[in-house]
Chains A and B, each alone.
Chain A
Amino acid sequence: NAGVTQTPKFRVLKTGQSMTLLCAQDMNHEYMYWYRQDPGMGLRLIHYSVGEGTTAKGEVPDGYNVSRLKKQNFLLGLESAAPSQTSVYFCASSYPVGGYTFGSGTRLTVV
């Protein structure tokens, strides 16, 4: 019963580098989400997907891209990392309007 798995757990990037965060879920959930969590800011939605092949922008989408080629996977890409993207990133999945299952997070530092 893996639930939601995020890789990697930690990463340090230099400004301008790119990377992809992978999220995988094994619960057959239709919806998947990427949030970032910063001190004092709570969770803010970056992008989300309501099904395979579909994505939509959330509250803070700039500087990020996503893809959902398979129902169980949701990828978050940073094309040119900036220090402002230093954060903890959480992936989650759910049934429509249901409770979320979260991954354990990716701690990203951009120097």
Chain B
Amino acid sequence: SQQGEEDPQALSIQEGENATMNCSYKTSINNLQWYRQNSGRGLVHLILIRSNEREKHSGRLRVTLDTSKKSSSLLITASRAADTASYFCATYWLEESNSGYALNFGKGTSLLVTP
């Protein structure tokens, strides 16, 4: 069962624009993580935000977490064609899920950045 639900499912923007993806989840979490997957490749860890953190930055990435709304957002500033990929949020539940104590992944947002 997927814990996180990304929104939108697909996003198309031009180079230089900002891209915002959202993730909602249902259960109390230990942390929330964002991953990128280029077509045909494995997932790459981007950023981890703990439940007691509200915002985190890494280069052109900005992640926010609102535990009261059970939601997170990933902002990519000044997008480049190389940012074209699928982006997944994943959550570690505080309680054991039907995935044990492993990450629960959403279905992802497909981002297309055109030159």
Contacts and interface: CB of A to CB of B under 8 A. Distances in A.
**Most chain A CB neighbours (cut-off 10 Å) among B101, B103, B107:** B103
B53 to A, nearest CB: 14
Contacts of B105: 35, 42-43
Interface stretch (B65-73, B74-82, B92-100): B92-100
| Range of interface residues on B (Cβ < 8 Å) | 20 to 34
Contact of B1 (A33, A59, A90, A103): A59
Contact of A90 (B30, B43, B45, B108): B43
B42 A59 contact: no
Contact of B101 (A50, A57, A100, A105): A50
30 contacts: A31-B102, A42-B88, A42-B105, A42-B106, A43-B105, A45-B102, A48-B99, A48-B100, A48-B102, A50-B101, A57-B100, A58-B98, A58-B100, A59-B1, A59-B98, A90-B43, A96-B101, A97-B30, A97-B31, A97-B92, A97-B101, A99-B45, A99-B48, A100-B33, A100-B103, A101-B45, A102-B42, A102-B44, A104-B42, A105-B42
Query: Sorted from nearest, which 8 A-B pairs have the closest CB atoms?
Result: A102-B42, A42-B107, A99-B45, A43-B105, A45-B99, A102-B43, A104-B42, A48-B102
